[in-house]
């Protein structure tokens, strides 16, 4: 569905902004229900459903988000991150086509689009453990 021109114009092109919601926030609030593990959306109007939707939505979604938050919090708390070369800011992001060949099920396929974005130039980050952290 994510690569269907029926739902997205130029579906084959990488466009991370296509997932931004254009819906009325009031409509989204009416489509939420608590099944006992937190408020979740019951609507399946979106074509982006990594954890499913409705009553049979993945019960691990909240746990996955919690784990991601913990990893980020601990990393920022325990380490001082800075650009290795002393530059300020973040390098530009490349969302373009990847030309790498990757073996998939014993066949070589070209990844038309990269699953992950990447920096346009090397982003060398220096990690220094903060004082008082073990």
| Alpha-carbon dihedral angle through residues 4, 111, 104, 49, given to the nearest 10 degrees | -40
Q: How confident is the model at residue 67 (pLDDT cuts 50, 70, 90)?
A: very high
Give 104's strand partners.
107
What b-and-e string marks burial along 74-96, b requiring 16 or more CB atoms within 10 Å of the CB? eeeeeeeeeeeeeeeeeeeeeee
Whether 58 has a binding-site annotation, put simply, is: yes
Q: For residue 8, give Cα distances in angstroms to 16, 22, 67, 97, 115.
A: 12, 13, 31, 18, 17
The CA distance from 111 to 99, in Å, is 6
pLDDT averaged over every residue in the chain? 72
Q: Pull the structure tokens for residue 79.
A: 């380490």
- For residues 2 and 131, the model is more confident at 131
Q: Rounded mean pLDDT of 92-120?
A: 57
Of 21, 22, 18, residue with least CA distance to 1:
18
- Backbone phi and psi for residue 105, each to the nearest 5 degrees, phi listed first: 50, 50
pLDDT exceeds cutoff 60 at 32: yes
* Domain ranges for the chain: 1-59, 79-134
- Contact between 82 and 90 under an 8 Å Cβ cutoff? The reply is no
pTM (2 d.p.): 0.46
Please tell me which residue, 77 or 45, carries the higher pLDDT value: 77
């Amino acid at each position: 569905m994510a690569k269907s021109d029926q739902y997205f114009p130029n579906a084959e092109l990488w466009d991370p902004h296509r997932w931004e919601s254009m819906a009325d926030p009031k409509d989204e609030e009416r489509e939420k229900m608590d099944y006992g593990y937190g408020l979740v959306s019951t609507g399946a109007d979106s074509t982006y459903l990594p954890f499913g939707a409705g009553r049979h939505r993945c019960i691990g979604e909240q746990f996955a988000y919690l784990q991601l938050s913990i990893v980020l919090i601990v990393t920022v708390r325990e380490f001082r991150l800075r650009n290795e070369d002393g530059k300020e800011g973040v390098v530009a992001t490349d969302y373009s086509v990847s030309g790498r060949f990757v073996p998939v099920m014993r066949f070589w396929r070209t990844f038309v689009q990269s699953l992950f974005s990447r920096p346009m130039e090397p982003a060398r980050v220096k990690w220094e453990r903060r004082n008082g952290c073990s």
